């Protein structure tokens, strides 16, 4: 069965194909360890091999595909060592962002973050966990931008991408997502109070929420890991 790609004026076929495959990988529509080939993807979407090859290369550069010469390409499995390393880097950067945020936070910034929180509430009310996950991403980006450190978003997002698939598993129900929403509200309140100590402590708690999920998934789905 052939899937259809909608190619806009601002994106190439390779761009759209990359976006589609990236979404399927990070949402676990394609599971870790699954074999995937340029030829099969090209046939599936009715495109030539070149855009498929370009999309594969970009996914490989993000650490989502493992391209092995003379062997099948596979969706990369999780690495506990890499997860630990990237989360350490993310935490170090985001803690510094929060410290800067507390120095400049004002009502306009608080209002902008509150609008994002309202969107999170709406996503949970409609049981749209995928949308919540996307807005969660924007929440952390907004804090960087509102703090005058938009470049920090790149580092944070690079780290987040490496564990996004695990985040999706942890956001598989409203209960877990609701806990993260409560964390976001608490962080927003700490920023409104310009409390560096509280904001940093809350972020540590927020990021640690994934620890239990990682342990459980490693135990129940060991094939997802290297």
For residue 75, the surrounding DSSP H or E stretch is strand 74-75
| Pair (90, 191) in one structural domain | yes
| Pair (65, 160) in one structural domain | no
pLDDT tens digits along 135-183: 998 999 999 999 999 999 999 988 887 787 777 766 566 778 899 999 9
What pLDDT is attached to residue 161? 76
Mean predicted lDDT score pLDDT of the chain? 91
* Structural domains in the chain (count): 2
Q: 116 or 164, which is more confident?
A: 116
What pLDDT is attached to residue 4? 66
What pLDDT is attached to residue 6? 62
| Pair (38, 96) in one structural domain | no
| Pair (212, 104) in one structural domain | yes
| Pair (88, 196) in one structural domain | yes
Q: Output the pTM of the full model.
A: 0.82
| Residues facing residue 164 across a β-bridge | none
Task: Inform me whether the pLDDT recorded for 1 exceeds 60.
Answer: no
Q: What is the domain-level CATH number for residue 95?
A: 1.20.120.530
The domain boundary, picked from 75, 100, 122, lies at 75
Quick check: is 6 in a domain?
Answer: no
Quick check: is 5 in a domain?
Answer: no
In this structure, are residues 225 and 218 in contact, taking their beta carbons and an 8 Å threshold?
yes
Nearest to 141 by CA among 178, 94, 198, 195: 94
Range of the domain at 202: 80-224
Burial bucket for residue 10 (CB in 10 Å: 0-12, 13-18, 19+)? exposed
């Amino acid at each position: 069965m052939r899937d259809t790609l909608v190619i806009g004026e601002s994106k190439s076929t390779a761009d759209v194909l990359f976006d589609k495959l990236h979404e399927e990988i990070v949402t676990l529509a394609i599971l870790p360890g699954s074999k995937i080939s340029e030829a099969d993807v090209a046939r599936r979407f009715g495109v030539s091999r070149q855009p498929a090859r370009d999309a594969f290369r970009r996914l490989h550069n993000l650490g989502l595909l493992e391209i092995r010469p003379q062997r099948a390409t596979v969706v990369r499995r999780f690495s506990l060592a890499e997860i630990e390393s990237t989360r350490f880097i993310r935490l170090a950067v985001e803690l510094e962002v929060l410290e800067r945020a507390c120095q400049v936070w004002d009502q306009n910034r608080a209002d902008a973050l509150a609008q994002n929180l309202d969107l999170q509430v709406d996503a949970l009310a409609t049981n749209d966990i995928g949308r919540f996950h996307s807005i969660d991403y924007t929440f952390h980006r907004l804090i960087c931008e509102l703090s005058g450190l938009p470049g920090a978003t790149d580092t944070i997002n690079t780290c987040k991408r490496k564990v996004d698939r695990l985040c999706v598993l942890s956001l598989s129900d409203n209960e877990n997502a609701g806990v993260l929403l409560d964390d976001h509200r608490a962080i927003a309140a700490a920023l409104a109070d310009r409390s560096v100590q509280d904001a940093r402590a809350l972020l540590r708690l927020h990021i640690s929420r994934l620890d239990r999920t990682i342990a459980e998934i490693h135990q129940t789905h060991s094939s997802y890991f290297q």
